[in-house]
Amino acid sequence: MLKPNILLFALLLSFIGFSQVGIGTVAPTADLEIMARTSLSAGEHNGIIIPKVTALPATVAPSGTILYLEGGANAGFYFSNGSSFQNVTDILSASGTGAFYDRGTTTDVTVDTSSDSYRIGRTAFGQDSSNAAIVSIENETPAGGDKRLLDLENRNSSTAMGTNTSLINGSNTSTPGGQKAGALLNISSTGTGSHVGIENTVLVNNSSVVENYGIHNIVDGNSTATGTAYGIKSVTGNTNSSGIRYGVHSTVINDGSQNSYSGWFQGRSFAIRNQDATDGYDMPTISGNAGQVLTTDGSGTASWSDANSAAPVQYSLWQAGSEYVIPQGNTGDFNLSNCETVLNPTLINPSANLQIKVIIRVTSGQGNANFQLTTNNVTDGTNYTITNTSFVSTPLPFGALFESNWINWNPSTDPSLIQLTGFTSSNTGGDVRFNSAYILVKSQ
């Protein structure tokens, strides 16, 4: 009877081996389906207990074999890939030991979605065949509070000479046919607070004697390319912008013991243009000679020129907003009170070789008017007459314009007080009235 029973058992085992098996269900939908019980007695649990071992097998197990290693820091589930056992609770691990740790420990990171993970060694992402971003970081946290995508901190404490540190050290060695960028930022218009593309705070050690930079660019230090290169190019605002806009706004502060330059421009050319670049001028990049002045040719180029080729300088003698009156009958030359100015001849010509012209706006009595200029050396008190010449009178709707010729004037290099004097030609020609008087001075 034993042999028939063994045969029957073998046939039944063969039948079961080629069928779907259900535990807790009579209608399994997979090779093996286990249904949890809804009612458990004391000491009973739902689930499967995988075979436990205290040491992983030394021999290679078939791929797919699952074991649970008990005890020690490496406890956990292991699976065989056909050549070795791998710890399935490690993340990013190829050797079965933790690739990331919990903070401040060498304990494998807690495997969940909220724990911080740390690594001592370097970590590399992606490969050359990747077309999309190698690493993508996105902040989807709810509104409220400061939000940052990436925090970096370099705590290297070495003070050895030649030690260099940085937060980000990148190298773009790609060969694109389009744009090749070191950093590419796009800040959207949403949000009503201040929008900042790049913000640097660079503190300098009190003992520092080297150069320090907020931004330090080295652009095209090696090529012979003919294309345009910019160290910094700034385009600020648009034609619809209504507020104040700055292309560059620089504030430099120090204690006054050294120069503080709000701008330093070094190159072969320096240009200033209007908003749409339709007008402006190129500035000279040489210092010129003593006494020269900056002039423009009217076609966009400014240059240094000798002062005698410059436009004359105007000095007001009388422009008080009221008429000055020379009563008729004052036939003797006398100084006109408060019709005067002080000038330093060397500001116009270093040698004080000047030319001077007088212009007076007479409102009435022009036929009875006579004018002269006198000068008083402020330093030594010397007085002399600059001009005693006739004026050209040009009739105007109300009065006339009195204008002298250009008259050579060679005062000393000391400051001079220039005074207007005047008189009437007769006792019957009426008062002489004028409401403005000024001189033009230029180099000879």
């004697």: which residue's tokens?
A: 209
Q: Is residue 214 part of a domain?
A: no
Q: Count H helices and E strands in the chain, helices first.
A: 1, 21
Whole-number pLDDT of residue 307? 61
Please give the mean pLDDT across all residues of the chain.
82
**Which residue stretches of the chain have pLDDT < 70?**
1-18, 89-99, 110-113, 122, 124-135, 139-146, 307-310, 333, 387-389
Count of Cβ atoms closer than 10 Å to residue 348 Cβ: 21
- Read off the tokens for 256: 């006054």
> Which amino acid is it at 20?
Q
Question: Can you give the residue range of the structural domain that contains 288?
Answer: 260-305
Q: Is residue 404 part of a domain?
A: yes
Q: Are residues 288 and 326 in the same domain?
A: no
Question: Each residue of 394-433: b (16+ CB within 10 Å) or e?
Answer: eeeeebbbbebeeeebebeeebbebbbbbbbeeeeeebbb
pLDDT digit string, tens, across residues 383-434:
777 766 678 889 988 889 999 888 888 888 889 999 998 888 877 778 899 9
Q: Is the dihedral of CA 48, 53, 56, 62 positive or negative?
A: negative
Between CA 419 and CA 235 the distance in angstroms is: 53
Q: Are residues 330 and 279 in the same domain?
A: no
Q: Are residues 297 and 381 in the same domain?
A: no
Q: Is residue 288 part of a domain?
A: yes
Q: Is residue 10 part of a domain?
A: no
pLDDT digit string, tens, across residues 358-379:
999 999 988 888 888 888 888 8
- Sorted by sequence, the CB contacts under 8 Å of residue 91 that are 6+ apart come out as 99, 100, 109, 111, 117
Q: Which burial class, exposed, middle or buried, applies to 378 when counting CB atoms under 10 A from its CB (0-12, 13-18, 19+)?
A: middle
Q: Are residues 420 and 345 in the same domain?
A: yes
Q: Is residue 280 part of a domain?
A: yes
Among residues 214, 208, 217, the alpha carbon closest in space to that of 252 is found at 214
Q: Is residue 17 part of a domain?
A: no
Q: Are residues 347 and 319 in the same domain?
A: yes
C-beta separation of 372 from 387 below 8 A: yes
Q: Are residues 353 and 377 in the same domain?
A: yes
Q: Is residue 119 part of a domain?
A: no
Q: Are residues 318 and 290 in the same domain?
A: no
Q: Are residues 321 and 366 in the same domain?
A: yes
Between CA 259 and CA 256 the distance in angstroms is: 7
Domain count, the chain: 3
pLDDT digit string, tens, across residues 141-174:
566 666 777 888 888 888 888 888 888 888 898 8
- Read off the tokens for 86: 């791998």
**Across-strand partners of 376?**
383, 417
- Read off the tokens for 318: 């009388």
Q: Are residues 289 and 392 in the same domain?
A: no
Which of 40, 75, 107 is at the close of a domain?
Answer: 107
Report how far apart, in Å, the C-alpha atoms of 39 and of each of 35, 45, 47, 280, 365 are. 12, 10, 13, 91, 127
Report how far apart, in Å, the C-alpha atoms of 398 and of each of 275, 366, 430 are. 43, 10, 15
